Structure 1
Amino acid sequence: MSDPFPRGAVVVSADLVGPRSKRPFVLVSTEAHPFYGEEYTAIPLTTTPRSAAVELTDGRFLEGELPRRSYATPWNIATLKHEAISTHAGTLTEEATERLVERAIEYLRGEPR
């Protein structure tokens, strides 16, 4: 098995939520996740600005970047298999990653801001 991607990695995988063949995602799972390194909990990204989405500004990237302005959709959780990931485009800061996790938890609890 390849090395696992870090929490906060921005990766490209098959599009699970739309008509495109590939889509970027932010990986939010930790080593405590069952099967860590084989599969990941992820939040899809979109280029469509939405009021509830979290904009990924340049300051939210620790390294790397995406070619277009992107927005995380924390109400939409996905599971990605390691072998389905084709590209590691960058990594978000710990603070930006934690913000996405907190927003996802709010949606899961029915408490969106």
Structure 2
Amino acid sequence: MSRQRWPAWVFRGGVEPDERFTFANERTFLAWIRTSLAFLAAGVAVDTVTLSIPSSAQHILATLMIVLGVVTAATSWVRWALAERAMRHQAPLPASPVGAVIAVGVVVAGVVLLVVAL
């Protein structure tokens, strides 16, 4: 009995790629998930710990960190799926704006901290 692999739109068609590339794609996905967990933990910490900044800025920073964590988790799965599908169809790997979005988010958080600390 053959089991259908999920998601079907990723695994349907194409040829099975070399396992090393599939595992590398999975390791990259898991690294993004770890990054997402770090953002979520940072958001909870910023919201829980009393800092010497205004509470409104503290809530903004916490929200920003949590949003970055959620966006990173969601887009990491999409990135994994698109890369896996591209490998199966021997197509170029897709570009991803996730790194730029995260960098902008971290810069915004840093600027907020600098502004409220001065």
TM range (shorter): under 0.3
**Where is the strand percentage greater, Structure 1 or Structure 2?**
1
TM-score scaled by length of structure 2: 0.27
Greater C-alpha Rg:
2
Greater share of helix residues, 1 or 2? 2
TM-score normalized by the length of structure 1? 0.28
